[in-house]
Amino acid sequence: MRQEIDFVKVNPTQNMTILVKTIHQANEYLPIASRLMSYDNVYAEQVGFIRSPSKKGADACLQMAGGEFCGNACMAMATFLAVENGLQPNVQMKISLECSGVEQLVACCVNKVNERYSCQVTMPLPIKVEQQSITYEGLDLSIGIVRYDSFFHIVLEVDSISPEWREIAEGLAKLLGVIQGTHLIGIMLFVSASNTMSPLIYLPELGSMIWEKGCGSGTASIGAYLHWKNKGTITASIAQPGGTISVSAVSNNQELASLVIQGVSGIVAQGKAFIEFEGSEHRADSHQTSAMLS
């Protein structure tokens, strides 16, 4: 069976994001996303589906394929809406998004800069930030844990982002995916001396493990972790393979009161994608997906 998908592909800090404009059933999200992300199709790191909002005050709804929340996808969605509304230079556009993975609306602010868009996203606050010592593969690791409602990030401070640390991060993500039962696990390799991060995102339901070139949610988690560690307001520019995303973590009586990220985004392609499903394969995928999301 062949499906025709209307899409827009957006580049927030090279975290290539496909936004699907056509309407699909929820049990189709994962198989469609898997095809679109593949090298022989549109090719990207993540897929979100544009839906009509159901919450009061929301301008649009973004449903990620794995049910997760994603800060960079919010930047992508805000960019798409800015383009659709013909945002002009030196004019600020405020957008409220209903997003998967979080209950509250996500506030975005967009400015057009030349042919790109500077996007500011007010991120959901973590439930808890803590540090734990664990033993993994014979190594004694001290890890920062940034917990949210439906996912968590691990901040692993390292001296350098080496192939060895990447392998450790991948193994740790798979292990946590088995035992934690969550939509998303992020491992942020973080070099504090240079404010450099390499983000690994693992979606157990989608079977997707990607070293992203930029991660907005991971940047926010680094900000929350640094706020917890330094016990006060911090502002930092976090360098990542695809560019830099800034984060501001504002303190109120040593409690985290606000967490905002800012980066640059732009549309790189839009049009129609064509995906093929064998009839039985599509039914099997849909059945499996429905079970995953139940």
pLDDT by residue, tens only, the chain of 294 residues: 789 999 999 999 999 999 999 999 999 999 999 999 999 999 999 999 999 999 999 999 999 998 888 999 999 999 999 999 999 998 999 999 999 989 999 999 999 998 899 999 999 999 999 999 999 988 999 999 999 887 899 999 999 999 999 999 999 999 888 777 677 899 999 999 999 999 999 988 778 899 999 999 999 999 999 999 999 999 999 999 999 999 999 999 889 999 999 999 999 999 999 998 765 444 433 333 222 222
Q: How many domains does the chain have?
A: 2
Do 144 and 259 share a structural domain? yes
Do 76 and 60 share a structural domain? yes
DSSP state of 43: -
Most distant CA pair in the chain: distance in Å? 58
CA distances 47 to 30, 40, 272, 276, Å, are: 9, 15, 15, 17
Reduce the DSSP state of residue 227 to 3 states and report it. Answer: helix
Do 252 and 150 share a structural domain? yes
Which amino acid is residue 36, in one-letter code?
L
Buried residues in 66-96 as b, exposed as e (16+ CB within 10 A): bbbbbbbbbbbbbbbbbbeeebeeeeebebb
Do 136 and 101 share a structural domain? no
In this structure, the strands spanning 46-51 and 17-20 are parallel
Reduce the DSSP state of residue 231 to 3 states and report it. Answer: coil
Do 272 and 257 share a structural domain? no
Do 228 and 286 share a structural domain? no
Do 248 and 133 share a structural domain? yes
Q: What are the tokens at 177?
A: 């995916």
CA distances 136 to 20, 47, 170, 223, Å, are: 39, 32, 12, 25
Do 112 and 13 share a structural domain? yes
- Are residues 252 and 236 in contact, defined by beta-carbon separation less than 8 angstroms? no
Range of the domain at 139: 128-263
Do 191 and 115 share a structural domain? no
Do 173 and 287 share a structural domain? no
Do 57 and 153 share a structural domain? no
Do 83 and 145 share a structural domain? no
- N- to C-terminal Cα separation, the chain: 25
Catalytic residues: 70, 215
Q: Is 2 exposed, middle or buried (0-12, 13-18, 19+ CB in 10 A)?
A: exposed
Domain holding 157: CATH number? 3.10.310.10
Residue count of the chain: 294
